[in-house]
Amino acid sequence: MWIFLILLSPAQIMDTDSSSLRVGVVGYGHLGQFLVDKLLKAGPGLGLVLGFVWNRNPDKLQGSVPAELILDDLSSFANRRCDVIVEVCHPQIVRDFGHEFLSKSHLMVGSPSALSDPDLNQKLRQASLQHGRTLYIPSGALWGGQDIQRMNNSGTLKALFIRMSKHPSCFRLTGHVLGDWTEGEGRRVLFRGSVADLCPLAPNNVNTMAAAAVAAGTLGFTGVQGEIVSDTALRDFHVVEVEVTGPDGFSVHTVRRNPAKLGAVTGSATYNSFWNSLLICRGHGGTVYLC
């Protein structure tokens, strides 16, 4: 299945489809709060209407989201008749509801690490095709995703490696991989291997790598290699390094420094990246679409 990426300005988006798009937001963490606020304030001028907000802890929504927009039971999402559902919660939501979401609307998966499960990946692709819905994968903190995708589609992508370095307080890892860190310890490599093996270890931290694995479809989650690094010197930034290898010695190495506060899972520049991705979620047929 081909993956397409098109970059449009807000003005071009309005020219393409002037009708309002109803958007449901699943998750109300920092990123969910940002998107809900943008939808309420800037959405109407861009043809976007907030259809509902759901959060695992509904108390968090009280006083922050208009009561009529709060969805108490996620299984009743279809009653809100949204055109696009944005998941910014947890990979488990993609596993539990992804197929149902795609049967009723387009789906922007903010936790693409869930797609490292090959069975779920295939199930959602089939649902997208069956129902004529688009499975959107936001590029997030990935820099150069469209170039990776072009190389993949042309058959010239030979290898892809991504390193993500953060302050240890910014990681949310399963188990006790980083339970013994101390301030001032410096740099520690936590994992190096396939993104398929890395996603279950750090499901909330490696969505950038997962987006890259989707773009690099011929390599996939098992072929794309990743490394996560804890570095106590990184108090103000997350660092994402991407190394792309092509034929005849061709290579590209990019380094992206994303401003981030201590303890923040998501860097600040990623918020606007998600918003820009949402702006083009207007339906591109039954396919997977990197945005």
Q: Within this chain, do residues 262 and 283 fall inside the same structural domain, yes or no? A: no
Is residue 195 a part of any domain in this protein?
A: yes
Confidence of residue 176 (pLDDT cuts 50, 70, 90): confident
> Is residue 133 located within the same domain as residue 156?
no
Residue 11 lies in a domain: no
Amino acid at 199: C
Pairwise CA distance, residues 189 & 63, whole Å: 42
pLDDT tier for residue 17 given thresholds of 50, 70 and 90:
very low
Average pLDDT on 101-129 reads 97
Query: What's the whole-number average pLDDT of the chain?
Result: 92
First to last CA, the chain: 16
Same domain, 240 and 157: yes
- Whether residues 88 and 55 share a domain: the answer is yes
The segment with the largest mean pLDDT, out of 12-16, 178-182, 242-246, 282-286, is: 242-246
| Confidence band for 140, pLDDT divided at 50, 70 and 90 | confident
Q: Is the residue at 16 inside a domain?
A: no
Could you read off the pLDDT of 207-225 as tens digits, one per residue?
999 999 999 999 999 999 9
6 part of a folded domain: no
Banded model confidence at residue 4, pLDDT cuts 50, 70, 90 = very low
> How would residue 147 be classed by pLDDT, with cut points 50, 70 and 90?
very high
Same domain, 251 and 190: yes
Q: Which element (helix H / strand E) includes 20?
A: none
| 17/21: higher pLDDT | 21
Residue 119 shares a structural domain with residue 155: no
CATH code (residue 39): 3.40.50.720
When mean pLDDT is compared across 5-9, 34-38, 51-55, 138-142, the lowest value belongs to 5-9
Same domain, 129 and 150: no
Sequence-separated (6 or more) residues with CB below 8 Å from residue 37: none
Mean predicted confidence (pLDDT) in 185-208: 94
Inter-helix orientation angle 118-131/91-104, to 10°:
20
- Does 119 share its domain with 151? no
Question: Is residue 7 pLDDT above 50, yes or no?
Answer: no
CA-to-CA distance for 85 and 102, rounded, in angstroms? 9
Per the structure, how many domains does the chain have?
Answer: 2
Q: Is the pLDDT of residue 19 over 80?
A: no
- pLDDT above 90: residue 15: no
Neighbour tally for 116: CB within 10 Å: 24
Instruction: Determine the Cα–Cα distance for residues 166 and 234; give it in Å rounded to an integer.
Output: 6
Residue 238 is assigned to a structural domain of this protein:
yes
Paired strand residues for 120 = none
Strands 3-4 and 21-26, how do they pair? Answer: unpaired
pLDDT for 5: 45
Is residue 149 domain-resident? yes
Residue range of the domain that includes 260: 145-266
Side-by-side strand order, sheet with 84-87:
3-4, 287-290, 134-137, 106-109, 84-87, 21-26, 48-54
Residue written as token pair 């291997």: 193
CATH code, domain with 201? 3.30.360.10
Q: Are 133 and 127 in contact (CB under 8 A)?
A: yes
| Residue (of 83, 84, 107, 80) closest to 95 by Cα position | 107
Write the pLDDT tens digit of every residue in 240-263. 999 999 999 999 999 999 999 999
